[in-house]
Amino acid sequence: MLEGRWKLVILFHLFGGKKQRFSDLERAIPGISQKMLTQQLRQLEQDGIVARIVHAQVPPKVEYHLTDWGQSLCPALDELLTWAENRPTPKRQRRSPRNQ
């Protein structure tokens, strides 16, 4: 459900009960295309992680937010962020003159 390059990034932008419009998400995630953002949001919606609200107005206003079940991912993903932040700095291996 969370595989792919963009899903976790999208979730981080929706944490904390935030409601985001499509254009806000698009601006907040550099490098993602409209097509990819649409696909990822649809998949997250089908999986019950994200909910889509369509407001009846002209021009149409569509907002996305995490469902209660999607919001329950927050603690696990916070731990993942902490884990990533504590990554040790890789040590550069020295090459011996014979291996060059």
Structure tokens belonging to residue 82: 């902490």
- Residue 1's pLDDT band (cuts 50, 70, 90): confident
The domain defined by 7-83 folds into: Arc Repressor Mutant, subunit A (1.10.10)
Please state the domain extents for the chain: 7-83
pLDDT digits (tens, 9 = 90+) for 5-36: 899 899 989 988 889 999 999 999 999 999 99
pTM value surpassing 0.85: no
